[in-house]
Structure 1
Amino acid sequence: MSIDALGRIVVVVPTYNEADNLAWIVERLRVAEPQVDVLVVDDGSPDGTGEIADRIAAADPQVQVLHRRAKEGLGAAYIAGFRWALAEGYDVIGEMDADGSHQPEELHRLLDALGEADLVIGSRWITGGSVVNWPRSRELLSRGGNLYVRVLLGIGVRDATAGYRLFRRSTLEKIDLDQVRSTGYVFQSDLAYRTLCAGLTVREVPIEFVERVRGASKMTPDIATESLKHITWWGVKERRDQVRRAWRRGRGGPRGVRR
């Protein structure tokens, strides 16, 4: 699908202490996809990331900055960015990490797939996907966590925790962001699930995920464990509600994912 046919596109890049990476990743994104705008959402980074973002935006009209006063979670930052993008009239709204783990040079894969989907996920765990510089323990944790999400929620998404995504405007409007309560890493699984429950199409495309080489990772074993606890609490509730809805309608919940 032609990028022009998709309308106005913006990629939301949340930041917290990414001073070493932000200019580098924004430049790569602007070179890879010149027609795509960028929104940096900074959660009051004490390392000066917000000031760097302002300087980038001052030099490039296709880069905007949304400053938040404190770190309130990945999901909260994305929702703030989504609301800004919807208010500004964007047709396609994306997610991308600031640390280089999501390669801007692969964004075209997600854009091409959006012609047949309402949400496209750049996936590490489908055929053709891969990770670079990850220890085996972290790969097993991610694969296991995604298997857990699939079983718990009864969905077919192989990489529901992935954060490289493109949403159609209509998708975000239909899933009702006012009802989203998850703010941490469970946010990604939550939105994928809500998209399927709304009867919309999710498609996964393979990407190469590269572990950051500069700065400190925000994902630690403690955060991963805490995320799984939140997924369990939220997932059990959603699964219960799904069963109730299925019983009332006489049919099952969301099943399919296109690849």
Structure 2
Amino acid sequence: MAEPPGPVLVVIPTYEERENLGPALARLHAAVPEADVLVVDDASPDGTGELADEFAAADERVRVLHRTGKSGLGAAYLAGFAHALRGEHQVVVEMDADGSHAPEDLPALLHALDDADLVLGSRYVPGGRVVNWPWHRQMLSRGGNLYSRLALGVPISDITGGYRVYRREVLEELHLDSVASQGYCFQVDMAWRAVQSGFRVREVPITFTERERGTSKMNSTIVGEALWRVTCWGMSHRFGSGDRPPDPVDPIPEGPVRA
């Protein structure tokens, strides 16, 4: 298998994931020993941030970005991306802390960078699958992907998925300071920006497994935001200038990084 095009940083957002963080890090470093990790913790009240500090103290591959409060998945990833772009990492990975994204799939995602700029771990291409999700979550996910694909006119089967690998230059070009999306709408936003910017986007099958510990952060607010934003982007794309208008945002405070 070909080597990735430079050092790899895996960004893992956390909020109340104390039970899941240790197993996720152990599996990740068994699958890709050379990968560095940035845990982005939004002041988890269950002590996830403090546990992450312990892992960082014991392993130089792990760093922790402490944020002052819970401000959403998109904001956490943007803070992680900003940290990555200040360093020398050439590949940046999005991965959940809850065990739903199998670290064992990461080598295949990294390998796919041979002919791609953004690699999406896909549940809905041949070979991809979802394990232990109730029917209503599968319907919500498949419906959201279908709606996004039709509204935006992009041939991506799993545009809402959150397991993905970016070449550094993609993040450098996507005007991250204009991204305000949260939840799985953030994933739609980032993938669409990459498509519009002419980057090569490729889907690779993964196995997505419902978390065994803790509770999902999905709620009706996240779904509503995604529906509204995708509808607006799609209308602008089809009947306006053809481009999505930027979403103005306030600067995102990063917080201290501990190694």
TM-score by length of 2: 0.90
* Aligned position for 1:57: 56
Distance 2:136 2:183 in 1: 22
Cα deviation digits, residues 207-243 of structure 1 (max 9, x gap):
0000000001111355334432333234433444453
The answer as to 2:221 corresponding to 1:184 is no
Amino acid corresponding to residue 44 of structure 1 in structure 2: A
Query: Greater relative contact order (Cα 8 A, min sep 6): structure 1 or 2?
Result: 2
Cα deviation digits, residues 123-180 of structure 1 (max 9, x gap):
0011111000011221111111101001111111110000000000011111121222
Mapping for residues 13-162 of structure 1, pairs under 5 Å: 13-162=12-161
SS of 2:92's equivalent?
Answer: strand
The answer as to 2:171 corresponding to 1:165 is no
The answer as to 2:17 corresponding to 1:2 is no
* Aligned position for 2:235: 236
The alpha-carbon distance between structure 1 residues 155 and 88, as it changes in their structure 2 partners (threshold 3 A), is same
Q: Structure 1: 5+ residue runs without aligned partners?
A: 246-259
Please tell me whether the aligned partners of residues 152 and 230 of structure 2 are also in contact (alpha carbons under 8 angstroms).
no
The answer as to 2:246 corresponding to 1:227 is no
The alpha-carbon distance between structure 1 residues 235 and 17, as it changes in their structure 2 partners (threshold 3 A), is farther
Distance 1:125 1:166 in 2: 17
* Aligned position for 1:195: 194
Distance 1:220 1:236 in 2: 25
Mapping for residues 199-214 of structure 1, pairs under 5 Å: 199-214=198-213
* Aligned position for 1:248: none
Aligned length: 244
The alpha-carbon distance between structure 1 residues 131 and 244, as it changes in their structure 2 partners (threshold 3 A), is closer
Please tell me whether the aligned partners of residues 185 and 222 of structure 2 are also in contact (alpha carbons under 8 angstroms).
no
Cα RMSD between the aligned structures? 1.6
Distance 2:227 2:184 in 1: 9
- Alignment identity in percent? 56
Q: Structure 2: 5+ residue runs without aligned partners?
A: 245-259
